[in-house]
Structure 1
Amino acid sequence: MPDAARIRVRGPIVTSDAKHGDSIAVNGVCLTVVEVEDNTFTADVMRETLVRSSLAKVAEGDRVNLERAAAVGQRLGGHIVQGHVDGTGTILAREKAEHWEVVHIGLPPQLARYVVEKGSITVDGVSLTVVTVSEDEFTVSLIPTTLDLTTLGHRKPGDHVNLEVDVLAKYVERLAVPHLRAIVGEETQ
């Protein structure tokens, strides 16, 4: 794994008003723009990001999901997505139905406690609702619009995807665990 990387991404819509220092998410990974030229932006990627995400596997010519940072005062469709990838999952299977597609995604053990049925998860930067969850996998249902407008319609079994769990679940855990430990400690004394 390299210590760092510099990537160039072509995206006429996201670069139309982008400037040095702006944030643009690539497959759900928040990156800082260091240069914009000819509908293309350049960003530096740190080792930590390469280790936690699937960006190291992206090759020249691959399609990626791109999203500009949210602007204050706009509607929030979906859930709070920060672009801080927590880990990667693997596409396990796809089931096509008439009006949607169910995608099974492998769930890393360290993220399992944050994923709940009907909760939110971000897959390659796309805010989705969890349909089912077990200890080692979860499913999401993709509507035709999501299949058409994102790279998720092109992901195959075996492909790695970036996962960002709901930040609120992490905050609840962070706030509750010390109090729960204190209660359990008091009861055992």
Structure 2
Amino acid sequence: MFTGVIEEIGKIQDIKKKTSSAILSVQAWKIMQDIQLGDSIAVNGVCLTVTSISPNGFTADVMHETLNRSSLGNLRIGNCVNLERAMPANGRFGGHIVSGHIDGIGTISEIRRDDNALWYTIKTPLPILRYIIEKGSIAIDGISLTVARVYKDSFSVSVIPHTASLTTLSGRRVGDSVNLENDCIGKYVERLMGKESQNNNITAGFLAKHGF
């Protein structure tokens, strides 16, 4: 589990592509202090497993499903990526609950400055947009952000300069693809309601009983 608070910007050193998978070599420094084989690291929001360690980075396998669901397949050598280690049991929740399981891809359709903030508008398909609500949480390339506006085919976030400078958002341009992970709570509520509504058991009391 992750929180969406990026620890470091890494760089892609090498990409070994197979028929339907890939091996990424990622250059990193800060997060390498206590990394072990088998640890989970979010790379642009995608949860990957460390398969080898070097003095200045790590490698991770990327499955076919991951390449299809995320923008990792578009990475090139030299590209920068957001990195976050899995949250320790005694860690702080600086963002929101992020699983590292990408729901899909969005496309940046507009970037504009508003005084000291940067607004990013991201177009995304309806199956992803349906779970995005104003003032709710969204992970964009692994970055925990608050949704500011929701439109019929897109949504916007307002980013402070500190966040942009410490993540890959500062280098993003209109037309770039980004990984999106919806807040998991909405998906679980929908699933639970879908099962229980067949028995007409959805009530305010039922939802409260199950923690909603």
Q: Fold conserved (TM > 0.5)?
A: yes
Which residue, 64, 71, 74 being the options, matches 2:81? 64
Identity among equivalent pairs (%): 49
Which of these residues, 58, 61, 75, is aligned with residue 41 of structure 1?
A: 58
2:174 alignment partner, SS class: coil
2:174 equivalent to 1:154: no
> Where has structure 1 moved over 4 Å in runs of 4 or more?
none
- The CA deviation at 1:135 is 2.6
Partner residue of 1:137 out of 144, 154, 165: 154
Q: Distance in 2 between matches of 1:2 and 1:91?
A: 29
Quote how far apart the aligned CAs of 1:181 are.
4.0
**RMSD across aligned positions (CA):** 1.4
Give the C-alpha shift of residue 74 in structure 1.
1.5
1:114 aligns with 2:121: no
Deviation for aligned residue 1:182: 3.8
**Rounded Cα–Cα distance in structure 2 between residues aligned with 1:157 and 1:182:** 47
1:158-173 equivalence runs, <5 A = 158-173=175-190
Q: Is the 8 A contact 1:14 1:24 kept in 2?
A: no
Judge conservation of contact 1:52–1:87 (CA < 8 Å) in 2: yes
What residue ranges of structure 2 are gaps of 5+ in the alignment? 1-17, 202-212
Gaps of 5+ in 1: 185-189
CA distance in 2, matches of 1:91, 1:182: 42
Deviation of 1:183 after TM superposition, in Å, equals 3.3
Match of 1:187 in 2: none
Distance 2:123 2:198 in 1: 30
Residue by residue over 1:82-112, the C-alpha shift from the partner in whole angstroms, topping out at 9 and shown as x without a partner, is 1111100000001112210110001221112
Asked if the contact 1:78/1:127 (under 8 Å) is kept, the reply is yes
Q: Which has the higher helix share?
A: 1
Q: Residue by residue, what CA displacement relative to the aligned partner does 1:31-61 show, whole Å, maximum 9, x if unpaired?
A: 0000000211000000000000000101100
| Match of residue 9, structure 1, among 26, 30, 41 | 26
Name the CA distance, whole Å, in 2 between partners of 1:17 and 1:178: 43
1:180 deviation in Å?
Answer: 2.8
Partner of 2:46: 29
Match of 2:121 among 98, 104, 111: 104
Question: Residue 7 of structure 2 corresponds to which residue in structure 1?
Answer: none
| Residue identity matched to 2:158 | S
- Contact 1:107–1:135 (Cα < 8 Å) also in 2: no
TM-score when scaled to structure 2? 0.84
CA–CA separation in structure 2 for the residues paired with 1:3 and 1:29:
17
Alignment match of 1:53 (pick from 70, 75, 85) = 70
Cα distance in 2 for partners of 1:154, 1:60 equals 16
Distance in 2 between the 1:46 and 1:98 partners?
A: 42
Structure-1 separation of matches of 2:116 and 2:199: 49
